[in-house]
Amino acid sequence: MHHPHLLKQAAILLFCATILQTAVAQDPAAKTPDGPFRNGMVVCATPNASKVGLDILKKGGNAVDAAVAVQFALAVTHPEAGNIGGGGFMVYRSAKGNTNTLDFREKGPAAASANMFLDSAGNVVKDMSLATHQASGVPGSVDGMVEAHRKYGKLKWADLVQPAIDLARKGFAISRRLAGSLNWGGPQFRKLNPGKTYFLKDVAWKEGDLLVQEDLAKTLELIRDKGRDGFYAGKVADEIAAEMRAGNGLISKADLQNYHSVWRNAITGKYKDYKIITMPPPSSGGIALLQLLHSVEKYPLHRWGHNQDSTVQLIVEAERRVYADRSKYLGDPDFYKVPVDSLLNPTYLDNRMKTFNWNAATPSSSIQPGAFVGYESDQTTHYSIVDKEGNSVSITTTLNGSFGSKILVGGAGFLLNNEMDDFSSKPGVPNMFGLIGGKANSIQAGKRMLSSMTPTIIEKGGKLFMVVGTPGGSTIITSVFQTILNVIEFDEDMQQAVTSKRFHHQWLPDQVNIEKDALDPAAISKLEQKGYKIISGGASGRVDAILVTKDGYYGGADPRGDDTGLGW
Ligand code: DON
């Protein structure tokens, strides 16, 4: 298949990889967890938010209570991705082994339509789905937290929101990494928010500066006092609607009023002795992860070793095929009948791998979606929590791009997402992650845009084994996949499995992106001789995970960011 967008996609991936590079300076306060901990553990993107979560666990809160507190604390301390103006997914497993998932993904506003990002000639308008008021889907995070708390929470709601209010009002000392991000975003904040001064300073931000967010503190107080109505009705809803009117955005007060998160059954699958509990559509991540695990299961990965050429080749070939399916069959299940059973059918997956040839790379142009009847990873954030009883929560939440659309709701002090870019603006035209899609993921009013977020929980022998997830756009799925293999196949401990260098292939563009030094030169040249195009670039993902052993909980906090694991 001839693909006119290959070059453009390569450029976009490179661009993402460049952004990824900005995330390297880690906060000295960030903490690689020791462990084992017996009473609970939180691993998330900032030291302050981890501490908030740990305090809630120590006060007798369960994993969901801690998650709610962490979500709001990240909205304050990790403004690039932590949010109240975005959305996400939660995978939950109770200590007894009951599972559930909550979809609080953003939705297309009622006024959204299939061609909204196309010009009169039918071409995608550059950046329209990324840095405009129209780039925002209807936010889901606040409703998600309210729902999660209503169903599983133990402590009082107000006590879970309060720590974030304190952090916003009193301010906190920013890390070197956050200073870098704020300086990077400055020109865009200025351009997109005329007359507003949020996140701006006369001189460059530097490590240790105090970031105070009084408007955000007031918004969080409304959420503390009124729950859902503190955001989807009243003052904040008025402010969102006014912001939208002023900037030609689409989100109306009715859209906000009508937003509801959805409980969905987890999708589950097996890998050897392990049970994988993960997110169903509108995430593509869960299905893709299960497809990938099945595709490699019968090969001797353990014998080949971590990031050796055979290991990389097999994984890349599985990824190529799985991402081809993603482009055609994955979308919001409320709007498009996703063929889940066909995609996960073992015979289908085995047949798919039959065209894999050890002697040469399978060109992506020869792989099509199966036929059935019928980079910086600051832009999204993941947290993993286990409490004393063994209840566990795996949440990935996002604004999509770093600081989302970079548009702040005037008076309310928070950023809006640019999640509309996760829809397919036009069949075959790549989005910012180089992903393509078609009808399954076309823009429609009230529809949720497809995601790659893959919050996952794993059981072994009926017991909790691992809680894992990461940001990273299209690389989320492959990062979660590799982290799991690092533990199960390559005997790495939790921290090592998170730290280990990663690589990625997504069918199109037809290239293997590797983190710097992820593969040794001999492996690279073997793969290149077989026709693989290897591109070395910046950091990929920020995996935060917890492993449960007979001794207790061990964390893996990604050194690619300020990620911190705390336990007790
Ligand atoms: O839902 C998704 O798949 C994307 N909006 C995630 C974006 C992301 O991870 C950004 N980080 N690099």
Q: Report yes or no on 375 lying in a domain.
A: no
Q: What's the pLDDT score for residue 506? A: 96
Answer with the one of 406, 441, 476 that is the final residue of a domain: 441
- Per-residue pLDDT for the chain (568 aa), expressed as one digit of tens each? 334 344 344 434 433 433 343 445 678 888 888 899 999 999 999 999 999 999 999 999 999 999 999 999 999 999 999 999 999 999 999 999 999 999 999 999 999 999 999 999 999 999 999 999 999 999 999 999 999 999 999 999 999 999 999 999 999 999 999 999 999 999 999 999 999 999 999 999 999 999 999 999 999 999 999 999 999 999 999 999 999 999 999 999 999 999 999 999 999 999 999 999 999 999 999 999 999 999 999 999 999 999 999 999 999 999 999 999 999 999 999 999 999 999 999 999 999 999 999 999 999 999 988 877 544 446 799 999 999 999 999 999 999 999 999 999 999 999 999 999 999 999 999 999 999 999 999 999 999 999 999 999 999 999 999 999 999 999 999 999 999 999 999 999 999 999 999 999 999 999 999 999 999 999 999 999 999 999 999 888 999 999 999 999 999 999 999 999 999 9
Residues 434 and 508 in one domain: no
Res 32: pLDDT: 85
Helix (H) or strand (E) holding 468: strand 463-468
Does 473 contact ligand 1 (Cβ within 6 A)?
Answer: yes
Ligand 1 centroid to Cα of residue 57, in Å, is 28
Amino acid at site 300: P
How far is residue 517's CA from residue 377's CA, in Å, rounded to a whole number?
18
Taking alpha carbons only, the member of 5, 83, 114 closest to residue 446 is 114
| Whether residue 437 is found in the same domain as residue 459 | no
CA dihedral 536, 365, 443, 469 (to 10 degrees): -40
CATH of residue 343's domain is: 1.10.246.130
Q: Is residue 7 part of a domain?
A: no
- Can you give the residue range of the structural domain that contains 304? 280-361+455-560
244 and 338 belong to one structural domain:
no
Helix %, strand %, coil % for the chain, to 5?
40, 15, 45
Q: What is the model's pLDDT at position 131?
A: 96
Q: What single letter denotes the amino acid at residue 228? A: R
Asked whether residue 21 is domain-assigned, the answer is no
**Which of 380, 423, 563 most suits a substitution to test ligand 1, by most atoms within 8 Å of the C-beta?**
380
Q: End-to-end alpha-carbon separation of the chain, Å? A: 55
- Please check whether residues 401 and 513 belong to one and the same domain: no
Instruction: Assess if residue 142 is contained within a domain.
Output: yes
| Pair (171, 316) in one structural domain | no
DSSP string, 130-153: TSSGGGPPBP-HHHHHHHHHHHH-
Domain end, chosen from 417, 441, 465, is at: 441
Distance CA 440, CA 87 (A): 20
Check: CB of residue 482 under 8 Å from CB of residue 500: yes
349 and 497 in a single domain? The answer is yes
Select from 15, 16, 476 the residue to mutate for testing ligand 1; criterion: most ligand atoms less than 8 Å from CB. 476
pLDDT for residue 241: 98
Dist. CA 402 → ligand 1 center (Å) = 9
Closest atom of ligand 1 to 449 CA is 1
Please report whether residue 62 resides in a domain: yes
User: pLDDT tens digits for 417-445?
Assistant: 999 999 999 999 999 999 999 999 999 99
What pLDDT was estimated at residue 64? 99
CA distance 298 to 533: 26
Task: Characterize the bridge pairing of strands 512-515 and 392-398.
Answer: unpaired
Asked if residue 352 lies in contact with residue 345, where contact means CB atoms within 8 angstroms, the answer is: no
The last residue of one of the domains, among 441, 476, 510, is: 441
Torsion 78-400-545-224 (CA) sign: positive
478 in active site: no
Examine the domain organization and report whether 201 and 248 are in the same domain.
yes
Give CA–CA dist 252/148, Å, rounded. 25
The answer to whether 280 and 340 are in contact (CB under 8 A) is: yes
From the candidates 101, 132, 278, 380, give the one annotated as an active-site residue: 380
- Best of 78, 104, 441, 452 for a ligand 1 pocket test (most atoms within 8 Å of beta carbon): 452
Indicate whether 435 belongs to any domain.
Answer: yes
If asked whether residues 327 and 389 sit together in one domain, one would say no
CB burial string 405-433: b at 16+ within 10 A, e below:
bbbbbbbbbbbbbbbbbbbbbbeebbbbb
Which residue's structure tokens are 């078609």? 438
Indicate the pairing of strand 274-278 with strand 456-460: antiparallel
- Asked if residue 331 and residue 194 are part of one domain, the reply reads no
DSSP secondary structure letter of residue 192:
H
Do 20 and 540 form a contact (C-beta atoms < 8 A)? Answer: yes
User: pLDDT tens digits, residue range 230-286?
Assistant: 999 999 999 999 999 999 999 999 999 999 999 999 999 999 999 999 999 999 999
Q: Which parts of 372-511 fold into alpha helices (H)?
A: 476-488, 494-499
309 and 424 part of one domain: no
In the chain, how many domains are there?
Answer: 2
302 and 244 inside one domain: no
Among protein residues, the one with the nearest Cα to ligand 1's atom 8 is 473
300 and 158 fall within a common domain: no
pLDDT of residue 373: 59
Which pLDDT value is given to residue 33? 87
The response to whether residue 135 sits with its C-beta less than 6 Å from ligand 1 reads no
Query: Ligand 1: does its nearest atom lie under 6 Å from the Cβ of 452?
Result: yes
Which residue is closest in CA terms to ligand 1's atom 6? 473
Structure tokens at 341: 């059973």
In a domain, 366, yes or no: no
Average pLDDT, the chain: 94
